[in-house]
Amino acid sequence: ARVWSCLPGRDAVKRAGGWDIAWPILLKPFLDGTADVVIRDLQADAAVFTGEVSFGSGSGQVRVSSPDGLPLAIDKGGFLTPMFGDRDQQRIETLLDGCQHALAILAELEVPAFLAFGCLLGAVRDGRLIGHDNDADLVYLASASHPVDVILESLRFERAFRERGWSTRRMSGGDFKLLLDPPEAQGEIDVFAGFYRGKTLYSIPSFGAAVSPKSLLPLSTVVLEGRELTAPADSGRLLTASYGPRWRTPDPTFKFAPSRRTKRVLVGFLRGERRHQRYWDDFYKLHADGVPRNPSAYAEHLVEHADGPMSVVDIGAGTGRDALYFARQGWRVLGCDYSRAGVKYAESWAADQGLAAEFRALNLYDMRDVLVSGASLARQGLDAVYARFLVHALEAEGRQNLWLVSRSVLRPLAGRLYLEFRTETTQHEYGEHFRQFVQPAVVIAELEHHGFEIEHCENGHGLAVHKDEDPRVCRITASVRKAQ
């Protein structure tokens, strides 16, 4: 069965004599044992390598499957998930029932909606679901073009589904998921808003093209796995705009490559920035249990020198190791993290220990989230903002928004901002990811610009020792200056 598809010119580094392609991080935990490996050239439709390969210990058989035995593969978004080609017919029928029901509800709401993207491609190509696809996509034509109105309409439609008993999950301002039961087995149905800006039709996740309304309306139908489902007036035109002129030729390596303009419209209007989020979601799904359970030395230092229990927000809480340590000391704690996988892990750990710490997601690259979260946190009367090993994991924009949130939360002279961050590169136990090593003088200048006063700063080794690592780190304590 297909597990992963890649394109050397896009996904690999050219080396002498060939290409160097790293295994996806989500596959690595499964790569222990032996496996029959086939590498195919899709253009030539020929196998270029066939043989038994030994991974890791070489003991046993490699099986890429869920705990209940369902085969898994890497999808075009980089997620490890069951694919249509590995699902039984009952699960396929459940998904198709859901699509028919969802399209009927959207018709009841008097909005034109149709099958789109992978499911439309499979229906037009050969009347079947694509084996390496994993969810169903529906697009409705929004009645408005202004982003606020597009978002409000999407929220209204989501409420309509929930009122009819559906479980949903909001993905962005312009799309939500309909969750089937259980979603891991039957899949999910994405409901995307399609809207016009001028002559260009846009839709989450990555679509932006000059598609005339005449190519969409009046609606037609296509047959998918024996079911008649609503489709655009000219499915071929929409598929060409989505996948290019060779859309009739199967290509499991395909990934959307939206223009800069399309990304700016969809990210700026509907989705918000998500840079580096995939790395952190994957990290906490795979490696959270390997993160130390004991608190960091900096957290212990804060508790030791505090006058008593405080109320604190831990931004960049990760697995919650420090936040839960504060909670065990009787502190009131809220943990925030970029990764929802990290948030879920911390919530589960807190529940297991019977601790009252709360956790929520916070995206420091999304100004809307920054402003809303800052206003919400400001009403909680917090004594401190704690951010350990966060500053060096942020790009400059995220760092400025960290100062903005902190400034919103803390009262003049009454609250403290506690920072610990790396200031130079070293070998890292957990491997490489984005890091921007900022010197203390830069951070201090930025904090002072945002109205902070530096109370303490130290920079050196011996502050954050972990196994064989002893990185140079900086610790800063700052408070908000009183307005003149």
The pLDDT assigned to 249 comes to: 87
Tell me: do 282 and 186 sit in the same domain.
no
Two tokens, residue 233: 């007036």
SS3 (DSSP) at 470? coil
Q: How far apart are CA 359 and CA 345, in angstroms?
A: 10
Q: What are phi and psi of 408, to 5 degrees?
A: -70, -35
Residue type, 328: R
The pLDDT assigned to 89 comes to: 87
For residue 481, count other CB atoms closer than 10 A to its CB.
13
Two tokens, residue 83: 């694919």
Domain of residue 22: give its range.
Answer: 12-82
Residue type, 381: G
End of a domain among 24, 54, 82?
82
Tell me: do 215 and 321 sit in the same domain.
no
Q: Which long-range contacts (CB under 8 A, 24 or more apart) does 304-310 make?
A: 310/383, 310/384
Residue 323 and residue 346 in contact, taking contact as beta carbons nearer than 8 Å: yes
Tell me: do 221 and 306 sit in the same domain.
no
Residue 481 and residue 455 in contact, taking contact as beta carbons nearer than 8 Å: no
End of a domain among 30, 63, 82?
82
Q: Tokens 């896009």, residue? A: 10
Asked if residue 285 belongs to a domain, the reply is yes
Number of structural domains found in the chain: 3
Tell me: do 450 and 313 sit in the same domain.
yes
Angle formed at CA 23 by CA 11 and CA 19, multiple of 5 degrees? 45
The pLDDT assigned to 484 comes to: 57
Q: What is the dihedral of CA 137, 40, 3, 245, to 10 degrees?
A: -10
Tell me: do 192 and 326 sit in the same domain.
no
Per DSSP, helices labelled H in 180-234 are 183-186
Strand partners, 334: 313, 358
Asked if residue 380 belongs to a domain, the reply is yes
The pLDDT assigned to 411 comes to: 85
Q: What are phi and psi of 451, to 5 degrees?
A: 95, 20
Asked if residue 3 belongs to a domain, the reply is no
The pLDDT assigned to 364 comes to: 95
Q: How far apart are CA 96 and CA 158, in angstroms?
A: 19
Tell me: do 367 and 302 sit in the same domain.
yes
Tell me: do 324 and 472 sit in the same domain.
yes
Asked if residue 2 belongs to a domain, the reply is no
Say if residue 469 is exposed, middle or buried (CB neighbours under 10 Å; 0-12, 13-18, 19+). Answer: exposed
Tell me: do 78 and 98 sit in the same domain.
no
Listed residue (37, 134, 32, 2) closest to 79, CA to CA = 134
Two tokens, residue 478: 């700052």
Q: What is the dihedral of CA 157, 162, 167, 173, to 10 degrees?
A: 30
| Residues with Cβ within 8 Å of residue 216, at least 6 apart in sequence | 112, 114, 141, 194, 201, 232, 233, 234, 238
Residue 298 and residue 476 in contact, taking contact as beta carbons nearer than 8 Å: no
Pairing mode of beta strands 188-197, 200-203: antiparallel
Q: What are phi and psi of 456, to 5 degrees?
A: -155, 140
Tell me: do 92 and 73 sit in the same domain.
no
Tell me: do 191 and 310 sit in the same domain.
no
Would you give per-residue pLDDT tens digits along the chain (484 residues)?
778 888 877 888 888 777 888 888 788 888 889 988 888 777 777 888 899 999 988 888 898 888 778 888 888 777 888 888 888 888 899 999 999 999 999 999 999 999 999 999 999 999 999 988 888 999 999 999 999 999 999 999 999 999 999 999 888 899 999 998 765 555 789 999 999 999 999 999 899 999 999 999 999 999 999 999 999 999 999 999 999 999 998 888 888 889 999 988 998 888 877 788 888 888 888 788 889 999 999 999 999 999 999 999 999 999 999 999 999 999 999 999 999 999 999 999 999 999 999 999 999 998 888 999 999 999 999 999 999 999 999 999 999 999 999 999 998 768 999 999 999 876 555 555 667 899 999 999 999 999 999 999 999 999 998 888 889 999 999 999 876 5
Asked if residue 123 belongs to a domain, the reply is yes
Listed residue (86, 200, 203) closest to 138, CA to CA = 203
Tell me: do 263 and 354 sit in the same domain.
no
The pLDDT assigned to 2 comes to: 78
Asked if residue 102 belongs to a domain, the reply is yes
Kindly report the pTM of this predicted structure: 0.72
CATH number of residue 412's parent domain: 3.40.50.150
Q: What are phi and psi of 252, to 5 degrees?
A: -70, -10
Residue 450 and residue 444 in contact, taking contact as beta carbons nearer than 8 Å: no
* Separation of CA 98 from chain center: 25
Asked if residue 202 belongs to a domain, the reply is yes
The dihedral built from the CA positions of residue 9, 14, 17 and 22, taken in this order, carries a sign that is negative
Q: How far apart are CA 384 and CA 313, in angstroms?
A: 7
For residue 458, count other CB atoms closer than 10 A to its CB.
12
Residue 49 and residue 59 in contact, taking contact as beta carbons nearer than 8 Å: no
Two tokens, residue 148: 């606020």
Two tokens, residue 389: 């090993």
Residue 192 and residue 139 in contact, taking contact as beta carbons nearer than 8 Å: yes
End of a domain among 41, 59, 82?
82
Tell me: do 288 and 397 sit in the same domain.
yes
Residue 405 and residue 395 in contact, taking contact as beta carbons nearer than 8 Å: no
CATH number of residue 138's parent domain: 3.30.460.10
Residue 421 and residue 434 in contact, taking contact as beta carbons nearer than 8 Å: no
Angle formed at CA 155 by CA 362 and CA 198, multiple of 5 degrees? 100
Asked if residue 33 belongs to a domain, the reply is yes
